Amino acid sequence: MHTHKKEVLASVTAQLNEGLTGELTIGNMETTFLQGFPRVSLRLENVVLRDSLFKKHNRTFLKAGRAEVALNSLALIRGAIEIKKITISNAAIDMYVDSLGYSNANVFKKKAKTADAKSSGGGSFPELRKVQLENVSFTADNRKNNKLYHFKVYELTAGINYTSTGFEADVDLEAMAESMAFNTKRGSFIKDKTLDGSFSVTYNEDDGFLDFAPERLDIGGERFIISARLGMGDSSK
């Protein structure tokens, strides 16, 4: 794989872009280590993901210094990508919704509805079974509903199970909540507080919402029960 790095990088980039309405660019790729055949781990550097209307709103959905990707090398040879785990480090995620309800999260194509969607997933973009974030700035800026969330994620681990309507995830989080403004006209409810705990997330592709189940989280050393609903894509309208 080392001897054909340019070809593999071009293949991985092209296949990932097939599941997007925008564009994914990867600056460099290195093979890091084998995890047991047929798994192989790739280190992607300078990863940038933008939706098709980026030139209009100028908000980059993802910019990552590094992403470690564990995938099935045999599937890659067949022209498919099977991602078992991805770790994103030194990155910024900016989920933006404009005043009319358009979101740059529309960069991901919706999966086709099939009878066996629950068992096979069937997503246009490769399914991710495990996601880790390390040193990531996360922003959710909803100009339509006047909401602004900004977190400095020290570490996040999510195990994902796919369903016929979307996915469910169990998440462990250690972060700094720099802003949690449920209504920006009234200011931030939480500002510069540590955030630590576990919670469950459900995504329904039909209505386009991420639902955060009520859970006890440690915020600034105090226990709170927090639940939330975050619109992605067309749901923001």
Alpha carbon distance 128, 106 (integer Å): 18
Mean pLDDT along residues 161-181: 91
Q: Is the pLDDT of residue 4 over 70?
A: no
The answer, yes or no, to whether residue 34 has pLDDT greater than 70, is no
pLDDT tops 80 at residue 178: yes
From 76-80, 100-104, 169-173, 232-236, the region with the lowest mean pLDDT = 232-236
Tokens of 197: 């705990």
Instruction: Give the pair of three-digit tokens for residue 33.
Output: 């280590």
For position 113, what pLDDT does the model report?
A: 56
Tokens (6 digits) for 171: 């998440």
- Res. 188: pLDDT tops 70: yes
Q: State how far the alpha carbon of 221 is from the alpha carbons of 68, 108, 136, 157, 224, in Å.
A: 32, 36, 22, 21, 10
Residues with Cβ within 8 Å of 12's Cβ and at least 6 positions away in sequence, in order, are: 26, 29, 42, 76, 81
Query: Which residue from 196, 191, 190 is spatially nearest to 155, judged by alpha carbons?
Result: 196
- Please give the pLDDT value at position 79: 66
DSSP H helical ranges for the chain: 5-17, 54-57, 73-77, 117-120
% residues pLDDT > 90 (the chain): 43
Alpha-carbon distance 207 to 230, whole Å? Answer: 11
Structural domain boundaries enclosing 58: 2-236
Q: What is the pLDDT of residue 118?
A: 43
| Least confident window among 6-10, 20-24, 60-64, 90-94 | 6-10
Please report the pLDDT score of residue 18 as a whole number: 81
| DSSP designation for 205 | T
Query: What rounded mean pLDDT belongs to the chain?
Result: 83
Terminal Cα distance for the chain, rounded: 45
What's the structural domain count of the chain? 1
Please report the pLDDT score of residue 123 as a whole number.
46
Q: Answer with the residue of higher pLDDT: 167 or 226.
A: 167
How many angstroms separate the CA atoms of 26 and 37, rounded? Answer: 25
Determine the Cα–Cα distance for residues 88 and 63; give it in Å rounded to an integer.
Answer: 10
- pLDDT computed for residue 41 by the predictor: 83
